[in-house]
Amino acid sequence: MSRIPKQLTFGVIIGNRGFFPSYLVAQAHEQAEALFSKLGIKTVMLKDGQTHLGGVETRQDAKVCAELFRQHRDDIHGVVVLLPNFGDEKAVAEAIRLSGLKVPVLIQAEEDNLDKMGLATRRDSFCGKISLCNNLRQYNIPFTLTTQHVCALSGEVFEHDLQRFAQICRVVKSMQGVRIGAIGARPASFNTVRYSEKLLEKMGVAVETLDLSEIFTRIKHISDDDLRVHEKRGILIENADASGIPADKLTQMAKLFVVISEWVVANDIDTTAIQCWTSLQENLGINVCSIMSVMSGQLMPSACEVDVMGALSMYALASASLNPASIADWNNNFGDDRNKCVLFHCGNFASSSLESPSMGTADIIGTTVGKENTCGAVHGRLKSGPLTYFRLSSDDFTGEVKAYVGEGQSVDDALDTVGCRAVIEVPHLENLLAWICNNGFEHHVAMNHSATGVVLQEAFTKYLGVNCYLHR
């Protein structure tokens, strides 16, 4: 089961400053409860009585708030600061620092009305937000801004910002303590998918390895009529039309699926990278693509060719949007259109992202291992719609993990080919491709149906310490 959090909890801080109208704090508290309830987000928030009106204004208020957050530290995915008036920037910053939370922080400041600028009704949140951000920077606390400098707590702009912030929090939480399963050895020809386990460990990402020989041995001890095999066969058939696949091949795939699944569960694996050729074809007579397609559809993505960084990229994409991610090659130009290209892989895309997915053979690999030994590849055209592409890479020369991200469209232009394929349109694609080449990125890219480029760029650059280039 995927560990990507679907239910989020936010710690909420309402700033206050005594010589501004305090009724605004009570009003913000009421509006916040309604908004978070509407969006299905749980909250940890001070109540009136714990502090004055549940706001944070003094050092003592900050301590009370911090203690409340510490009590729920394992549940809180992000902190939202609301400024219904100027607020006390020092008290709010101290509340976050004293809580010890290392989560994303969103700053909202309420807008003033021109007919309410008198002493009894004015807010000055416009100014208070600048002071708070200055203090947070002094405290080395990263934060996220709303689209507009000030916006109504009950308005559509802030609701949209809050949803975007939820995606950022989901990415940050998902990337903490990720465990990647590297199954098999990297294909000898693919130096491009080399990676640094030590740089990943520095990020808090662990890699657990499994040799294919162990898988082959475990498969031998599973009978064809095992209930686990029956279950996995049903899942594979449901994932894509398998009417053209021989029964014995489906059984072999199901056995492989059983072994991989049990190892994933036993080792708390979040995402996998599998040696998809040529050992599996030569020893088992099948492809692993359909299994990878199913796991990706379950938000436990799986990348080809032991591309560990690709698997991590897919996991990040899936966590941002809760949509399955797939991995592909930047593969072909699309005629003379320099803003379009073809993404392609033998057959591992999540089936829900495809038009009429079917299970077949991998004809390209089949030229070397025999077409009959490649049953299990998924065939289908990526559905049209918004697309986000993303790639993480470890760079031993600079000692850092780096990334790029951008958005485009999957389009339905005619394309006559096999496997999993897509025609995508990306603004200034030639500039992106030059950037990829000049910065030593791999030929694989993770992608899914979403519009989360800005979310991923902010999550990784601001909160995860990864320099991420945003292509526009």
Which candidate, 424, 426, 371, places its Cα nearest to that of 404? Answer: 426
Per-residue confidence (pLDDT) for residue 190, from 0 to 100: 86
pLDDT in tens, 10-39: 999 999 987 777 789 999 999 999 999 999
Of how many residues is the chain composed?
472
Is-contact 292 406, C-beta < 8 A?
no
Query: Residue range 387-410: average pLDDT?
Result: 97
High-pLDDT (> 70) share of the chain, %: 98
Instruction: Kindly tell me the sign of the dihedral angle through the C-alpha atoms of 95, 99, 100, 102.
Output: negative
- Taking the C-alpha atoms of residue 447 and residue 425, their distance in angstroms, rounded to an integer, is 13
Indicate where the chain has its CATH 3.40.50.10940 domain(s).
9-175
Residue 122 has pLDDT above 80, yes or no: no
Per-residue pLDDT tens over the stretch 227-253:
999 999 999 999 999 999 999 999 999
Q: Are 411 and 470 in contact (CB under 8 A)?
A: no
pLDDT of residue 333: 98
Other C-beta atoms within 10 Å of 194: how many?
15
Q: In the block, which residue shows the tokens 């416009």?
A: 126
**pLDDT tens-place string over residues 345-378:** 988 999 999 999 999 999 889 999 999 999 999 9
Q: How many CA within 13 A on the CB side of residue 98?
A: 17
**Model pLDDT for residues 157-204, shown as the tens digit of each residue:** 999 999 999 999 999 999 999 999 999 999 888 899 999 999 999 999
Q: How far is CA 71 from CA 42, 75, 141, 267, 282, in A?
A: 15, 9, 20, 29, 55
Q: Quickly name the fold that domain 179-471 has.
A: L-fucose Isomerase; Chain A, domain 2 (3.40.275)
**For 9-175, CATH number?**
3.40.50.10940
Indicate where the chain has its CATH 3.40.275.10 domain(s).
179-471
Tens of pLDDT, residue by residue over 258-310, are 999 999 999 999 999 999 889 999 999 999 999 999 999 999 999 999 999 99
Cis peptide bond prior to 147, omega within 30° of 0: no
Please give the full DSSP string across 320-383, using - where no structure is assigned.
Answer: HHSS--EEEEEEEEETTEEEEEEEEESS-S-GGGEEEEEEE--HHHHHHH-GGG-BTEEEEEEP
Query: What per-residue confidence (pLDDT) applies to 84?
Result: 95
Res 109 pLDDT > 90: yes
With a CB cutoff of 8 Å and minimum separation 6, the contacts of 113 are 121
